[in-house]
Structure 1
């Protein structure tokens, strides 16, 4: 009993540490890209492609490991995923050409998804109706990783080399592996669970009509988030001509807005419920997205765009975490599969943000504001359909 209580006390930080592996793997080596390209005798586009390769490997891994998380030991899947990530991280500094680097990055992402796909399902198992609260806590803790990762990478690069970045990454993941082995509790499965095939598990998730609308909500609100990640450097640095220091401050301010929204959600979701909190976030998102379009249409100063983006990013995160919780609670026996569906569609549509913004590019922030507004509008339609069906 003591060990179980210790495990539960550590559960949310531990799950956040597991999820943080991928953001660290994506962001820590960004400052070293030019050095890496020179070392491997290739150009920057090839090294930049390693990000797309990583996301592809991660998405394909989710498709495979999601249903496996519903059938096999989740604890063993996490150990397999983190263990494989450690080995891949140790191999990356030893590569001699870009092809080897890209192949190992793909393998690193693919294997690591076995660990991360387990996290939302584990939160659902232990927190039940409070799943949104648990997801908010984990997201809030995990956001520290992408915020500090580029700075850590810069320090390691200056202090030694690009290779040290991956050695430190392997050290972090090894520590997570040890903590998982010691503290992560195993989920006790019901003996009456029906044996289902890989395809049958996905059919169950997609056959639920209300869940489909929440899945679209989660997917499209992610498009808004990726639109922000893709466009905000251009918006702040080019359109409004801020300094890099000002940009970093504004970016950090938006991260604080995201964390504040998650903290607010953890305080209120138990009393209000996930559907109500989703609507609160969506209402604020509609107002903020409309304001963002208007201030950029009338070419108002930077301060107005910042004031519109802050509540918009916070409200987007509130919609995302509650829609995910609502999806997971509908599938107690297929939560791993549901997580795979959410993750794959989220990363897949996120990849469209860049091409969409490029297609509508006009040298202003209007395409960015328009894509954010359109995404929020689609989510509003989905949630209105759910409300009409349940009326």
Structure 2
């Protein structure tokens, strides 16, 4: 495969901002409507659990789409897939604003996820081409900028809900994606194309990734970290708004505080990881996660107040960020020739297992935050088991 060097068309800084804007469509689609969930349940004549299922459906279909679109991006090029994905995302967002039943809402959320993943899966390949051996630095820039989306999304959603209604949240989302689509049409380059047309093989790269025994523990670690994170994300509207009785504006502030903790963790990691190494940073995050998740479960078992839940969730979110970031980095370092496929594996498992959070929370629902606290603790304990597996497995692993 030969690469066309076209990155000089636009300054690298503009390209990074544009790529972060593309990636931001996902957290915006996930977080903007969280404050509106209780109102949506009333107006769509359904339960809060069914509305929460829309988040799980989005995550599940996002993971499926990444699995499919990773090889498609390598075969057909990243620019066409990004434009097609953003176009479908705009149309699905508009359709979501027009639904009158929960069934159609769930259908269009699934389509929105399929299209959103098609757009975002192209980003790591472009960053890798732009930064070469400094890919981690480029991805850090994209992540730091993209983190503004989940920080601002609930506040934007609350503001739109205050000014208009929940339907306008999805119109706003469609407008944002339309602007990003226009900018991509004008500025997003195509970095690689096959010199000679070759058959499209979906599974050969995935076989290489899953056959690498030394990577399996880190893949499991990344997956369970995402499970804990999405348990929080799915349950947080109920926990903060319905159980503890905060209003939509207070919810956005509390949610933003957790996102700031994620950003702080990324900042600390970027300063220390070159000296301490990703494995040591991961285990430091795991130690903090075990303590924080245990306290969260105990506080909710004893039915303590909102402050205790907030102060235990904040370090837990930071620790999950440390765990996931360093696990993902170690996975990608093991596959220099299959990093795109490895990225798709990480994303597919991350959003796929995230899709289990909603059904499990609905199954164990008892009107208190205890089920979500215990599920988050379960995810952290599974990470610990994966890391215990990591040490002997890595030592014993031979090239497969």
TM-score category of the 2 structures, normalised to the smaller one: 0.7 to 0.9
1:63–1:340: 8 Å Cα contact kept in structure 2?
yes
Q: Which moved more, 1:160-169 or 1:282-291?
A: 160-169
1:61–1:114: 8 Å Cα contact kept in structure 2?
yes
Q: 2-side partners of 1:330 and 1:191: how far apart? A: 27
Offset at residue 316 of structure 1 (A): 0.5
Work out which of the residue numbers 323, 329, 347 in structure 2 matches 1:319.
Answer: 323
Offset at residue 162 of structure 1 (A): 5.2
TM-score, normalization by structure 1: 0.82
- Pair 1:141-2:145 in alignment: yes
Work out which of the residue numbers 223, 228, 233 in structure 1 matches 2:227.
Answer: 223
CA shift in 2, pair 1:103/1:367, >3 Å: closer
Q: Which moved more, 1:129-138 or 1:377-386?
A: 129-138
Query: Where does residue 43 of structure 1 map in the other structure?
Result: 45
- Pair 1:22-2:2 in alignment: no
Structure 1 spans left out of the alignment, 5+ residues: none
- Pair 1:269-2:285 in alignment: no
Query: Where does residue 377 of structure 1 map in the other structure?
Result: 381
CA shift in 2, pair 1:37/1:13, >3 Å: same
Work out which of the residue numbers 166, 170, 173 in structure 2 matches 1:169.
Answer: 173
2:231–2:354: 8 Å Cα contact kept in structure 1?
yes
Query: Where does residue 278 of structure 1 map in the other structure?
Result: 282
Query: Where does residue 342 of structure 2 map in the other structure?
Result: 338
Structure 2 spans left out of the alignment, 5+ residues: 396-400
TM-score, normalization by structure 2: 0.80
Q: Deviations over 1:104-163 (max 9, x none)?
A: 443332122111112234334444554444444333322322333343344445545655
Q: 2-side partners of 1:236 and 1:159: how far apart? A: 21
2:82–2:118: 8 Å Cα contact kept in structure 1?
yes
Q: 2-side partners of 1:343 and 1:256: how far apart? A: 22
Q: 2-side partners of 1:216 and 1:372: how far apart? A: 15
The residue matched to 1:44 in structure 2 has which SS?
A: coil
CA shift in 2, pair 1:307/1:52, >3 Å: closer
Q: 2-side partners of 1:150 and 1:281: how far apart? A: 26
1:88–1:104: 8 Å Cα contact kept in structure 2?
yes
Work out which of the residue numbers 60, 63, 68 in structure 1 matches 2:67.
Answer: 63
CA shift in 2, pair 1:101/1:251, >3 Å: closer
2:365–2:371: 8 Å Cα contact kept in structure 1?
yes
Aligned length: 388
Offset at residue 363 of structure 1 (A): 6.0
Query: Where does residue 108 of structure 1 map in the other structure?
Result: 112
Query: Where does residue 213 of structure 1 map in the other structure?
Result: 217
Q: 2-side partners of 1:363 and 1:101: how far apart? A: 25
Give matches, 1:287-302, under 5 Å.
Answer: 287-296=291-300, 302=306
Q: 2-side partners of 1:190 and 1:349: how far apart? A: 33
RMSD over equivalenced CA pairs, Å: 3.7
Work out which of the residue numbers 97, 117, 120 in structure 1 matches 2:121.
Answer: 117
1:130–1:269: 8 Å Cα contact kept in structure 2?
no
The residue matched to 2:336 in structure 1 has which SS?
A: coil
Query: Where does residue 190 of structure 2 map in the other structure?
Result: 186
Offset at residue 5 of structure 1 (A): 8.0
Q: 1-side partners of 2:109 and 2:365: how far apart? A: 31
Q: 1-side partners of 2:270 and 2:129: how far apart? A: 17
Query: Where does residue 73 of structure 1 map in the other structure?
Result: 77
